[in-house]
Structure 1
C-alpha cells in the first residue's frame, strides 16, 4: 500500500472539490451583464443610505471628510440619463479592445498568426511553453493594457496548437498579465505614477524627501522570476490537469492547422515578418531622437503622457494589420480588399457579447466612482489597519491583504494608492519604515486579486476568450480556474517580499528599507 500516493490523491481530490464548488456557485450568478446592472442598482441604494452619514475619514483629494454622494436624487438620475452614451463610449477598455482586435483579426484570419505559431512551436520545447507564455505576458505590461487584447487570446491559440488545453493557455497568460502586474524587469509608466503618489504622501512627514521613480525596480525584476515559476507550476500541475475532462469545441473555420508550411506559405510568412520588422525599425528611428514627437515635454518616452505610450493600441493595430495583409495577399487567403474588411468584420462579430457586457460594466464603474463608496472602503480599511498598531512585518502583510481586498472593488492601481498612500506611508515612516518598502508591499497586493474579481474591467473579456473553446464558460468557471494562481501569488509573493527585506537586497534605485528622520 502506497500511503504517500493515497495522501497526495486525497489532497488533490480536496482541492478539486473546492474549486468545483467555487465554479458551481460562481456559475449560478446572473450573466455578467445582468450582474453589473444589479450591482449598479445596489450602488444607487447604498449611496442613498450612506449619503446622510458623517464619516471621520479625510479624502486626500479634497482635504475634507469623505462624503458619499446620493445617486438617487432627481438631479443625479437626470445626469445619469444624459451622460449614459458618453459613459459607455468613453469606457477605456472598450476602445482598446475593439481597435486592437481589428488589426489582430486581419493577422489571424489571413493565416499569419497561425504560420507564426507553427514556426514558434518548432523551436520552442513543449516543456518550456508555459514559462515562455507567462514571461511574455509579464513583459506585456510595458505596453499598458496590450496584454489583455493580444497575449491572453494568443495564450489559448498557442496551447491549442500545441495539443494542450486552450483554457490553460488563457489562464497562464491572464495570470502573467494581470496577476503578476507588478512583476516586470522592464520599467514602465506605472513606476513613476505610483512613485509620485508615494512621494507626495511621504512629504506629509518629510517635506524635503526625494524618491526615485525606479525605487522598486530591483524587486519587481526579481519578482518576474518568482511569478514565472509559480505560474508554470500552477498551470502544469493544478490548472491543466483539472481541465482534462473539459471538452474543447472550436467553430468551423477556427481550427488551427499545424501541418508544415508549404513553399508559398513560407515565402508569404517571411515577407510579412520583414514588413513587420521594417515597421518596427521605422518606429524606432521616429522615437529615438530626443526631440521626437513621440516623447513627452521632458523627453521621456515611457511616461503615460508620452504620445508613444498613448499610441500603443493604434500601433498594435498597424503592426498586425500590415503583415496580416501582406501574408494574406501572398498566400492568396486574401484575394481582394473586400476579404480584408471581412476579416475585420469577423473579428468584431466575436466581440458582440463583450460590447454588451462593457455597456453595463461602464455604467457600474461610473456609478461606483461617483458615489465615493470605493474611496470610503479604502480609507476605512487603511484607518483600521493604522489603529491596530501592529509590528512592522505584520503591518506590511496587512497592507498587502488590505490592498488585495480593496482591489476587488477598485481596479485602478493609481486610484487605490492615491487614497491609501496618505495614510499608510506617513504611518510607517513614523515606525522607521521607508516609503519605498511601503510602496513595494502595495504593489504586491495590487496584483494578486486582479484575476479573481469579475469587477475588473477586462474580466468579462477573458470570459469571452474562454467561450471560444468552451461555450459554457461563466464567471464561476474563470474564477475557479484563477483561484490557485491568486492564492499562490499572494502567499509566496508576500513571503518573498519579507525574505527579500530580511536579506537587505536593494528594492530599487536609491531605495531603502528604513526611514531615518532628518
Structure 2
C-alpha cells in the first residue's frame, strides 16, 4: 500500500519512546484477561480497605466514604446472582450490537461502499484528515455513534485513499473520544454536566443558576483547535511512524473502490432519498412543542428526552432501511434471507468484542460497587484543595487530576458527580465561576480517554485495527494515541488559559469570576 504522506518519521527519541510503549503494552495479556485480573484486584483491595475509616466525605451522600468489601459472602452471592444482568445491562454492548445490525445491512448491500466511493471523488486528499476529525467531533451529538460508525469508516477511507488505515482510525478515535468536549453542536452532555455543576454551586450560593450551554462558546472554539492539532499529529507524527507497519489483515473483505456504475448510482440516490425522507419525517415529528420526542420540560437535547434515548435505534433504522432499498435495487439482496445473512455477518465480526465486553462489564460493576473509584477521586481533590495554589495553577491542577482519575473512572457524569461538589465550591471561594471550573473539568475528562484500556470502547477500537494489522494489541493502540493525549492535555490547557486571558465568553450567561460582575 502506498503512503501519500511525505513527512519524515518521528525523531529518534520520540520513536524510541512510542516503540517502547508499544512493546510493553503488547506484552500485556489479552484485554479480556486484563479486565478479569483488574476485577480480582478490585476485590482484594476492597477487602483490604473495607476496615479502614476515611475522613473524606462522599458528596453524593454527605457521609464519610466507605469502601465495600466485595469478598464478603453477601457480595459474592450478589455477584453471581447479578452476573447475567450486569452483562446484558452493559450500555456499550447494546449500543454497538444494535447499531451494527443496521450498519451490517448497509455495508453488505454495498450502500456504504458506493457512498464512500462517491464521497472520495469529492474530498481533496489534503483535507481528508481534518474532515475525518470534524465528522468525529460532530458525532458526539449522537451519543456514542462515533465509536461504531466514524472510527471504522475512517480506516476504510484512509485505506482506499492509499494511506495507512490505522492512521485514519487514530484520527477518528482522537476526534470522537479525545476531543469529546469539543463540539459546536449542543448535545445531551451539556445539560447533564450543568445539572451537577449547579447543584455543587448551590452549596455556596443557593440562588445561583447555571445555563446548560455555559461552555458552548468554548467547546465550539475548541473544535477548531482540536481539528488543527489532531491534523498535525496525524499527518506529521502518526502516519510517518506507521510507514513500516505492514497491512496484513483480511483486506479482501474490505469494500472495493472501483468506479460506480449507473445502476449503483441510481440505487444509491433512491436509497439516500428514502433515508432523507425518514430524517425529514423525524424532524417534523420532533418540531411540535407537544412532541412525544421531547422531555417533560419540552427540550430535545436533555438525556430524558425520548429523542436522545432513541439515538441508537434511529441509527439502526437510518442504515437498515436505505441499505435494504439499495440491496434490492442493485441485486445484492435477492430475498429477505440475504438481508438477514448480512446482519448475521455483522454480528459475527463482533464476537471477540462481546467476550471482552463480558469481562469489562464485570470489572466496571465491581469498581463502582467497591467505592474505590470514588475514594480515589475525592482524596485527589482534597489534596489539590489543601495545596491552596494560585487560581490559574489550581485550574491546571483540576485538568490534570481529572485526566488521571479518568484512567480509572470512565463515566464523565459519574466523575463530575464526585469532583464537582469539591471543585466548584472551592473555586467559588477563590472568586472563580462554576462555568470556568466545568470547562477545566471537560478538558481533563477528554484528554486521557484515548489511552486507557479500561475505557469500554477501547477494546472495540483494537478490534477495528486488527482488521488491517493482525497483531495489533493494546500497546499498539496506546502508542498510536499517546501523542494525541499528551498534546490535547497540554495544548488544550494552554488554550483554556489563553481563552480565559482574552476574556472571551465561555458560553451563554457565563462568567469567569464569582460573583459575576
TM-score using structure 1 length = 0.97
Contact 2:214 2:506 in 1 (8 A): yes
Partner of 2:24: 25
Partner of 1:50: 49
What whole-Å deviation, never above 9, does each CA across 1:160-211 have from its counterpart, x for those lacking one? 1111111111111100000000000001111111111111111111111111
- The Cα shift of 1:440 comes to 0.4
Helix, strand or coil for the counterpart of 1:134?
Answer: helix
Partner of 1:289: 288
Contact 1:117 1:161 in 2 (8 A): no
Inter-partner Cα distance in structure 1 for 2:16 and 2:448: 21
Inter-partner Cα distance in structure 2 for 1:161 and 1:335: 28
What whole-Å deviation, never above 9, does each CA across 1:222-260 have from its counterpart, x for those lacking one? 000000001111111111111111111342641332111
Inter-partner Cα distance in structure 1 for 2:452 and 2:53: 30
Classify 1:398/1:331 alpha carbon distance in 2 versus 1 (closer, same or farther; 3 Å): same
What's the Cα RMSD here?
1.3
1:332 has 2:331 as partner = yes
Inter-partner Cα distance in structure 1 for 2:256 and 2:516: 64
Helix, strand or coil for the counterpart of 2:428?
Answer: helix
Partner of 2:175: 176
Q: Which runs of 5+ in 2 are unaligned?
A: 1-6
Inter-partner Cα distance in structure 2 for 1:517 and 1:273: 49
Partner of 2:358: 359
Contact 2:451 2:482 in 1 (8 A): yes
- Please list, as runs of the form range in 1=range in 2, the aligned pairs for 1:171-320 lying within 5 A after superposition: 171-251=170-250, 253-320=252-319
What whole-Å deviation, never above 9, does each CA across 1:449-480 have from its counterpart, x for those lacking one? 00000000110111111111111111000000
Inter-partner Cα distance in structure 1 for 2:82 and 2:366: 11
Partner of 2:4: none
Partner of 1:390: 389
What whole-Å deviation, never above 9, does each CA across 1:53-81 have from its counterpart, x for those lacking one? 00011011111000000000011100000
Partner of 1:501: 500
Aligned pair count? 511
Contact 1:206 1:517 in 2 (8 A): no
- The Cα shift of 1:280 comes to 0.8
TM-score using structure 2 length = 0.97
Helix, strand or coil for the counterpart of 1:439?
Answer: helix
- The Cα shift of 1:439 comes to 0.5
Q: Which runs of 5+ in 1 are unaligned?
A: 1-7
What whole-Å deviation, never above 9, does each CA across 1:423-447 have from its counterpart, x for those lacking one? 1111111111111101100000000
Partner of 1:4: none
Contact 2:10 2:237 in 1 (8 A): no
Classify 1:517/1:295 alpha carbon distance in 2 versus 1 (closer, same or farther; 3 Å): closer
**Which is worse superposed, 37-46 or 508-517?**
508-517
- Please list, as runs of the form range in 1=range in 2, the aligned pairs for 1:400-415 lying within 5 A after superposition: 400-415=399-414
